[in-house]
Amino acid sequence: MTTVIRFSSLGDIVLAGAVTGQLGEVSFRTLPRYRELALRLPGVVRVLDPGEPAVGGRVIDLHNNLRSRQYRADVRVSRQDWRRRARVWFKASPAEPVVTRYGRAAGVEPSAPPWLPPVERGSRLVLAPGAAHATKRWPYWRELARAWDGPVIAVGGPGEEGIVTELGGVAEAGFERTLEAMQGGAVLVAGDTGLLHLGAAVGLPVVGLFGPTTSDDGFYCYGDRGRAVELPLACRPCSRFGGPTCPVGDHACLREIHPDQVLSAVRSLV
Ligand code: SF4
């Protein structure tokens, strides 16, 4: 039995699916709110809460933070935090893709998605309009929904009820209902958020809208199965995670991405 440690967050746990399937039977140690997700990752037969005793065998720490370092591990992932900071501060070269670092820590070749049971494909445009940080929120979801000549559904989390309900979805719906909403999806459109990775993990083609962060900063890894829409602005990336306000004041990185541009990225995938 191999134990994999990754406490959060949604996207990082989804991306762990690139390696768990190559490790035999896996115990996955994570926060209780990610239990359902972790149980669906390939190879995972058991989920351990933070307080549960270890099960023995090899331990791979894919988090490598203060909390995870309290547990014994045979190997810990390279975080490359300083490289990511240098990317923001000095526009240095990007960090290695997360799945590459996960693969190196686990000693396996990362697999391509889907990493979760695939959804049935259909004609629905699936939108994930929310983001924890304001600068990661694209302003034209309503226009995109109106321009799509088919059914639309939105998915989101706590605090995103307004826009998600307006676009015909259910926010704070829980993991199961979010997956249900993705059934019949043609393409998922999202900002640089965990739902982008969840959509790809269940086999949907994805369009990722990148503003204060960039698609080459390690998390976006979908090649021909996705499109990254982003603008070549000198101020990008201005943050590793997004922030409350645009440092230069105009939020051009996302405000200048027009719905037509996103729609043509969507159409190129269907
Ligand atoms: S416009 Fe530039 S500075 Fe402003 S949020 Fe976007 S990337 Fe950051």
Encode pLDDT of 87-124 as tens digits.
Answer: 999 999 998 999 999 999 999 999 999 999 999 999 99
Distance CA 106, CA 28 (A): 13
Short-list 131, 99, 119, CA closest to 209: 131
Distance CA 62, CA 79 (A): 9
HSE, side-chain direction, 13 A CA sphere, residue 137: 17
Residue 247 in domain: yes
SS3 188: strand
SS3 26: strand
The verdict on 73 and 127 lying in the same domain is no
Beta strands in 134-181 (DSSP E): 152-156, 170-171
Residue 127 in domain: yes
The verdict on 255 and 125 lying in the same domain is yes
The verdict on 128 and 207 lying in the same domain is yes
Tell me: the pLDDT tens digits for 244-264?
A: 999 999 999 999 999 999 999
251, 254, 255, 256, best to mutate for ligand 1 pocket (most atoms within 8 Å of CB): 251
* Domain with 130 in it: 121-267
Distance CA 37, CA 138 (A): 26
Domain containing residue 156: CATH number: 3.40.50.2000
Average predicted confidence (pLDDT) for the chain: 94
Q: Where a domain ends, among 63, 78, 106? A: 106
How many domains does the chain fold into? Answer: 2
Short-list 175, 216, 165, 217, CA closest to 31: 175
Residue 111 in domain: no
Tell me: the pLDDT tens digits for 42-68?
A: 999 999 999 999 998 999 999 999 999
The verdict on 6 and 91 lying in the same domain is yes
> Which atom of ligand 1 is found nearest the CA of 243?
5
C-alpha of residue 192 to centroid of ligand 1, in Å? 14
The verdict on 126 and 154 lying in the same domain is yes
Predicted TM-score (pTM) of the model is 0.94
The verdict on 178 and 212 lying in the same domain is yes
The verdict on 166 and 246 lying in the same domain is yes
What is the predicted pLDDT for the residue at 226?
A: 95
Distance CA 168, CA 270 (A): 21
C-alpha of residue 251 to centroid of ligand 1, in Å? 5
Tell me: the pLDDT tens digits for 179-203?
A: 999 999 999 999 999 999 999 999 9
Fill in the DSSP letter of residue 120.
P
